[in-house]
């Protein structure tokens, strides 16, 4: 079955590709690829995104029942396509400082230490990963006229060059042109570009067709002498200088965005929300609708900021997000004293929400007998919900929809599940089911109950990510927490607006004719 829509079902006779690499992480690769995907999609080009290998804890469930990086799901959205595992065939999800879960074609294979990816012992992994990458890429070539490819990190990491499948190693095998983006806001943009180019081999240097300078603010006339020098020194064109886009709200690949969004428009009717940030927090994009909400005073609480304070800011809701290593993050919470502060918050009438790993933490026991996420063992939970959780080899990866029931009301929702654990009730009379759900590709008779609401109405917990993305469900949850006049926020509409805004900027500031010439 083709991944393309019905209007683009024929296999093109010719294909093109363009790869975006960066001088550093967070140079703007993901955003540039998403913007280019939207530009070409608006021009009715049959375009798809691709990232050979990604390392991220923000992921999305695909239409074919796997998972990929969140940034590639956004890029698929920019192409008006459902997310598919071929868009990101290799995903690494860090579970510790030295280990990561390996996900190939959407399915978790194993957990490996860093030396298995990058050291002398990495050949077996790289052979397997490269084969998966090229299988996906060849399929996309057959189904799409254009593939826009995103690199990872920097191509100039000389300690990681051998067997590279994420940057120039892939570009060489796939024989595709490369442009390099650099972030001028970090400083040293010309050194970044010249240094990156200098550390590439002659063949790789020839593959680089131009540069893009990102996040520029100021007087362009002051930058022009540097651009003239760069083009003369490298014999490579600068294909565009992109302005700094204030308040660009798009799904983050992995970095936690902790900047104020907008002033509260009605300070007399507001809600304060705290989200706990542990070391292996995952899918924090769940909270983008709350960060963007004009009636919510939103804060992340981390070890580096509020966690070490004697008193947390007053909060109406405290949220325990997902985690890639639940037992380790639970131990971190206790080290920070967050468990005590959480119970203090509940004692004074505050509300608590647990999502996925946060849901598991609030139970009585978390058992990892096979060492799925880390060392095998059991951990006592926070004891806030009468559940026990056992981590299993099989991983739940489903898109779901259904109805959220709260305070004698209900609202439709859609979302997704990504978890290794199965939770079961130890006592049935202290909680009530909160969600009626069914798997998105199954008929309604397959619907089942999910999630818990404590009988005192203070704790809400679920395995489902993306609840706040559904405007009616978000309003119902905020009403449960005390914001009875919650405004309607549609994150999908915001995402659509922001992608079109980004595409407008790229069309205005990039040399699109030269870019199209590289692709043809």
Annotated active-site positions, please?
A: 356, 465
**Do 281 and 321 meet the contact criterion of CB atoms below 8 Å apart?**
yes
Rg (CA), the chain: 23
Which residues have C-beta within 8 Å of that of residue 441, sequence separation ≥ 6?
399
**Do 112 and 90 meet the contact criterion of CB atoms below 8 Å apart?**
no
Residue 472 burial class via C-beta count within 10 angstroms: exposed 0-12, middle 13-18, buried 19 and up: middle
CA distance 439 to 63: 12
Strands (DSSP E) contained in 70-205 are 90-94, 99-104, 107-113, 146-150, 178-183
Supply φ then ψ for residue 240, to 5 degrees: 170, 155
Structure tokens belonging to residue 129: 């990963």
The H or E element containing residue 117 is helix 114-118
CA distance 314 to 302: 15
Structure tokens belonging to residue 273: 């929300």
CA distance 129 to 121: 14
């Amino acid at each position: 079955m083709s991944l393309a829509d019905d209007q683009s079902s024929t296999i093109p006779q010719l294909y093109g590709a363009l790869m975006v690499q960066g001088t550093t992480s967070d140079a703007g690769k993901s955003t540039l690829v998403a913007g280019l995907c939207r530009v070409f999609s608006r021009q009715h080009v049959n375009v798809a995104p691709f990232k050979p290998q990604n390392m991220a804890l923000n992921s999305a469930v695909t239409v074919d029942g796997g998972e990929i990086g969140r940034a590639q799901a956004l890029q698929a959205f920019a192409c008006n396509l459902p997310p598919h595992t071929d868009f990101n065939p290799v995903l690494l999800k860090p579970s510790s400082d030295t280990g990561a879960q390996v996900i190939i074609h959407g399915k978790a294979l194993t957990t490996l230490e860093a030396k298995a990816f990058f050291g002398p012992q990495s050949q077996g992994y790289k052979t397997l990963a490269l084969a998966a990458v090229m299988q996906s890429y060849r399929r996309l070539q057959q189904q799409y006229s254009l593939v826009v490819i995103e690199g990872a990190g920097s191509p100039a990491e000389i300690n990681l060059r051998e067997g590279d499948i994420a940057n120039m190693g892939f570009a060489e095998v796939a024989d595709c042109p490369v442009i390099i983006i650099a972030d001028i806001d970090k400083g040293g943009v010309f050194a970044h570009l010249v240094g990156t180019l200098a550390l590439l081999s002659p063949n790789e240097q020839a593959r680089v067709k131009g540069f893009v300078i990102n996040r520029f603010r100021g007087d362009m006339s002051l930058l022009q002498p540097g651009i003239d020098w760069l083009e003369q020194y490298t014999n490579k064109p600068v294909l565009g200088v992109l302005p700094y886009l204030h308040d660009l709200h798009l799904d983050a690949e992995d970095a936690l965005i902790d900047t104020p969004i907008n002033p509260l428009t009605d300070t007399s009717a507001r809600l304060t929300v705290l989200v706990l940030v542990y070391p292996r927090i995952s899918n924090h994009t769940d909270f983008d609708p709350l960060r963007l909400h004009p009636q919510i005073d939103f804060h992340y609480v981390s070890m580096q900021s509020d966690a070490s304070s004697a008193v947390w800011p007053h909060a109406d809701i405290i949220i325990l997000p997902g985690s890639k290593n639940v037992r380790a993050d639970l131990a971190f919470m206790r080290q920070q004293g967050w468990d005590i502060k959480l119970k203090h918050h509940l004692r004074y009438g505050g509300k608590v929400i647990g999502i996925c790993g946060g849901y598991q933490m609030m139970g009585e026991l978390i058992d990892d007998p096979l060492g799925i996420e880390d060392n095998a063992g059991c951990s006592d939970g926070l004891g806030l919900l009468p559940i026990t959780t056992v981590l299993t080899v099989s991983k739940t990866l489903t898109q779901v929809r259904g109805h959220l029931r709260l305070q004698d009301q209900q609202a439709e929702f859609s979302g997704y599940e990504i978890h290794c654990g199965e939770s079961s009730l130890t006592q049935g009379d202290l909680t009530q089911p909160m969600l009626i759900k069914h798997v998105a590709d199954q008929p309604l008779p397959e619907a089942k109950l999910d999630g818990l609401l404590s009988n005192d109405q203070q704790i809400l917990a679920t395995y489902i990510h993306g609840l706040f993305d559904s405007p009616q469900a978000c309003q119902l949850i905020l009403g449960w927490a005390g914001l009875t006049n919650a405004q309607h926020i549609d994150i999908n509409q915001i995402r659509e607006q922001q992608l079109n805004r980004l595409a407008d900027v790229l069309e205005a500031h990039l040399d699109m004719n030269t870019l199209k010439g590289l692709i043809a």
